[in-house]
Amino acid sequence: MNQMNIADVDLNLLKVFEALHDETSASRAALRLGVTQSAVSAALRRLRDVYDDQLFIRTGRGLAPTLRANQLKPVVTDALNKCRQSLAMVDPSGAHFEGRSVALGLSDDFEMAFGRRLMASIRERAPGLRLIFRQTHSQIVGAALMARSIDLAIASGGLADRLLSRRVLGEGGYRCLADPASLRPGQQALTLDEFIAREQILVSSGGIIGMVDEGLSSLGLTRTVCASTTHFAALPYLLKGTDAISTIPGHAAEAVAHLSGLALLDCPLSMPRYPIELGWRTNAQMDPAVMKVREAIEALFKVSAC
């Protein structure tokens, strides 16, 4: 490859690279950037010359990034974000969020409980900024932040890396969900005997044993799990028309009950409370877009705690 001078490179090519990597499609990248698909294709040819690599390979499912493209993505995005930050420094009160996106990692229980209100807050605080919700959990959240596949995360642990910053937003407990048709009129709780007599649905990212099983084991008791799922959003479809119950984080249980008509019950088993934490890469804390989303999340949880 010939030695490249930055003065010879059109820096707008970096925006095309970012869009192609995010969208994995030349047509979608063109729509995102407001240009023609032929302009994106021409930019990709120039990018391939600059980086002496194919960068994106056409597959049956779109454009797949090469190893070099994946290595370049965090560097390119950081460079573009620095440029965006420089504009914000010139006009701190201005709206510099059009076309920006912030990827928030969270499990679907947090997404169901807080996603809609967070969208409304961002619409007011940072017009034009797009939120990207990406599924994660405490076992993978730290790696996802360090790999830059997400910018921020709401999680119950997993944020201990020394290169990550975190803030405790609050803590939560557990509630039960059931089809109201399977309960006595006005019933708001189950006895422990009723609890273990019913079949149960476990929500887990991959485990066979859950927090409920650990709590029951300490009492010398067991339960019957008839099914398990990785998605909280599946519970209305799995519980309706059955006598089964599911014990899940309280914020998710309240959201699911509100939208689905499932009954919300107190858990008869003493369960440990869990922390709710907000995490981010320490070196990203000056990005105005990330800061706006952080502020919105922190304000949202303050209101929820009142």
In this structure, which topology does domain 6-82 adopt according to CATH? Arc Repressor Mutant, subunit A (1.10.10)
- Long-range pairs of 298-304 with CB within 8 A, sequence gap ≥ 24: 298/167, 298/169, 299/121, 300/114, 300/117, 300/118, 300/121, 301/114, 301/169, 301/170, 301/276, 304/114, 304/170, 304/251
In the chain, the amino acid numbered 66 is: T
Residues of the chain with CATH 1.10.10.10: 6-82
Q: What's the confidence (pLDDT) of residue 2?
A: 52
> Other C-beta atoms within 10 Å of 51: how many?
18
Would residue 104 be called left, alpha or beta, if left means φ above 0 and alpha means ψ between -120 and 50 degrees?
beta
Q: What is the pTM of this model?
A: 0.76
So what's the architecture of 97-168+276-305 in CATH? 3-Layer(aba) Sandwich (3.40)
Q: What's the confidence (pLDDT) of residue 1?
A: 47
Alpha helices in the chain (DSSP H): 12-23, 26-33, 37-51, 67-90, 108-125, 141-146, 192-197, 211-217, 235-239, 250-260, 288-305
Which string of b and e fits 149-166 if b means at least 16 CB within 10 Å? ebbbbbbbbbbebeebbb
Residues of the chain with CATH 3.40.190.10: 97-168+276-305, 174-272
Q: What is the residue-level pLDDT of the chain in tens, covering all 306 positions? A: 455 566 677 888 999 999 999 889 999 999 888 899 999 999 999 999 999 999 999 998 889 999 999 999 988 988 887 777 676 666 655 556 877 889 999 999 999 999 999 999 999 999 888 999 999 988 899 999 998 889 999 999 889 888 899 999 999 999 999 999 999 998 989 999 999 999 999 998 777 888 899 999 999 999 999 999 988 999 999 999 999 999 999 999 999 999 999 999 999 999 989 999 999 998 776 778 888 999 999 999 987 765
CATH superfamily of 174-272: Periplasmic binding protein-like II (3.40.190.10)
Chain-centre distance of CA 232, in angstroms? 14
**Measured between alpha carbons, how far is residue 116 from residues 44, 149, 228, 235 in Å?**
36, 22, 26, 19
Neighbour-count burial of 94, counting CB atoms closer than 10 A to its CB (0-12 exposed, 13-18 middle, 19+ buried)? exposed
Q: Encoding tokens for residue 74?
A: 């965090």
Q: What's the confidence (pLDDT) of residue 255?
A: 92
Q: What's the confidence (pLDDT) of residue 96?
A: 67
**Measured between alpha carbons, how far is residue 62 from residues 29, 72, 97, 101, 194 in Å?**
12, 19, 27, 21, 52
Q: What's the confidence (pLDDT) of residue 147?
A: 86
C-alpha to C-alpha distance for 279 and 40, rounded to whole angstroms: 35
